[in-house]
Structure 1
């Protein structure tokens, strides 16, 4: 039997499953096809529509809107879901939408992310672990974001784009192409790569040799004079000595959209 604490003004629909230690604050609404893991907390005025599965130890602060229908005209009421991992912090007025039937049917959020106020994650997005999305960061549909990615305030990401692990997107940047792992993007006129996220890599324990290899790969990809196929050949040579460069090369080869340049 769950020992969840539900405020008298909150509504938990029949069929919702609340784990041990769940706390539901004033004026919340939890739908019937919702599963909430142990120790998760909802601040005032949060809403959770299903089907949604939420892992343990998440914190949703006031007015978060979780599991709403996808904002897609093709959505016809088919069963689609939102899956959220463990230990995330979701701040005020964040909106997380479910997937679409023709887009995989699921929006997925990993573990340990910070989604700050007014963040929007649209249908069928996949977000990894330990990311930070600053205020008003917005993902359109079908975006994929790797682990340890930082989106600064007012960043917008175009649909179907991918952002690789450890990338840093600067304030106000609009991303309309794939961003490889480790790359830093700045909003200058229009968003463009501006080197690697060296400071972030240092903070996560990357040593000097690893960072130097990533920097050489960035130069081969973005600062060479030849076509991109020549850059890939150079990256393949560097990848033989660096697992990080291999990760970057694998990301590029798996892409269907052009790289942000």
Structure 2
């Protein structure tokens, strides 16, 4: 363990083996740093914050701190960050809130680039990549393997499904399906993240089923959404990825509608 002489580590902080705390860092009493965690310099950890093993945090990042809510009470709230994450300069990750589920959670193997922000009660899955300036409002959920482009944002209670990609400068005020691609100032689906699906080894037949489902449920305007989902489930519901998307669309906990499809005469479904 190595703590720079200019760093402040409050009594009560728990430091695992091999932790490195660089110049001018401030580590609060509620911090729990796993084995091999590195704080490069000028990092602030405030509140009940748990950071998984080997995670690296770059200068001027703030981990924890109260939820940005008027008259908020931070007692009993926390931030949990997984293992092997890279958190770049000036990233801010807030604690959960008593009005939410009291915890903000970041999975393992995430790469969060400079100036990104995750508000209170966000849930970020494993292997997510957030490009510079990504802004997540409170209660946002990102599934595993989500990629967000630079300067994009997700509205409060928004959901971005597993394996989806949100384009640079996109504003997601509605939900993005698993494996989808969306972009635009008010984000619209622009097809499936085919490159991501292929990289993760999803079988070709499953990808074809996803494409048929996408056309039948999101592009088609025949019948109601519920009727289209039911029809797609009967046709392709045995394909795990299709079932996941359909479950996401009709999930009872959803607070937002699904992003509409981008329409320019020809639907874009190339990843």
Moved more, 211-220 or 108-117: 211-220
CA distance in 2, matches of 1:153, 1:257: 23
Residue in structure 1 matched with residue 35 of structure 2 by the alignment: 38
Partner SS for 1:190: coil
- Structure 1: runs of 5+ lacking an equivalent: none
Contact 1:84 1:110 in 2 (8 A): yes
- Structure 1 residues 167-199: Cα deviation after superposition (integer angstroms, max 9, x where no partner): 000011000111110110022x63210000001
CA distance in 1, matches of 2:157, 2:195: 28
- Structure 1 residues 39-86: Cα deviation after superposition (integer angstroms, max 9, x where no partner): 110011000012111110100011111011111114124321001111
CA distance in 2, matches of 1:74, 1:166: 36
Residue in structure 1 matched with residue 130 of structure 2 by the alignment: 133
Contact 1:19 1:39 in 2 (8 A): yes
Residue in structure 2 matched with residue 158 of structure 1 by the alignment: 155
CA distance in 2, matches of 1:40, 1:153: 26
Structure-2-length-normalised TM-score: 0.92
Partner SS for 2:217: helix
Q: 1:253 aligns with which of 242, 247, 250?
A: 250
Residue in structure 2 matched with residue 219 of structure 1 by the alignment: 215
Structure-1-length-normalised TM-score: 0.96
Contact 1:115 1:133 in 2 (8 A): yes
Flag as ranges the 4+ runs of structure 1 deviating above 4 A.
Answer: none
Q: Trace 1:147-226 onto structure 2 (pairs within 5 A).
A: 147-187=144-184, 190-226=186-222
CA distance in 1, matches of 2:73, 2:103: 15
Q: 1:241 Cα shift?
A: 2.7
Q: 1:5 aligns with which of 2, 11, 25?
A: 2
Residue in structure 2 matched with residue 65 of structure 1 by the alignment: 62
Q: 1:160 Cα shift?
A: 0.3
Q: 1:145 Cα shift?
A: 0.5
Q: Does 1:243 align with 2:254?
A: no
Q: 1:25 Cα shift?
A: 0.5
RMSD of aligned residue pairs (Cα, Å) = 1.1
